[in-house]
Amino acid sequence: MKDINEMIQQMPQAVYERLVSAVELGKWEDGSVLTDEQRASTQQVVMLYQAKKLQQTDHFTIGQRGQINELSKAQLKKQFQAQVNDDAADFKGESIAAFKNDDL
């Protein structure tokens, strides 16, 4: 079997999303229920994927160094507002889309 880190690096995003869904719902896509052992193992793979590939800073995620990110409501609000401001700056003075009445 491959090294777990190599497996994580090669894992497609779609597989990660299916694993997240299985952990959240407690069952596989075919409807069969995860055993406690499967759920624990799948949860570990999800957390490792988050730490190694997603490099998230969101509330209750695993950071790149393996730490759990637990941001306060104020920190999340500040982070979200900064993202909104950055997005708004990208489109300052520009139209996102323009249509003529006949185009609709």
Q: How far, in Å, CA of 40 to CA of 65, rounded?
A: 21
Indicate the burial class of 50 (C-beta count within 10 angstroms; 0-12, 13-18, 19 or more). buried
Higher pLDDT, 103 or 33: 33
Indicate the burial class of 23 (C-beta count within 10 angstroms; 0-12, 13-18, 19 or more). buried
Domain boundaries, the chain: 4-92
| Beta-bridge partner residues of 68 | 62
The pLDDT tens digits for 43-86 are: 999 888 888 887 665 556 666 666 666 666 677 677 767 776 66
State mean pLDDT over 32-47.
92
Q: How far, in Å, CA of 55 to CA of 33, rounded?
A: 30
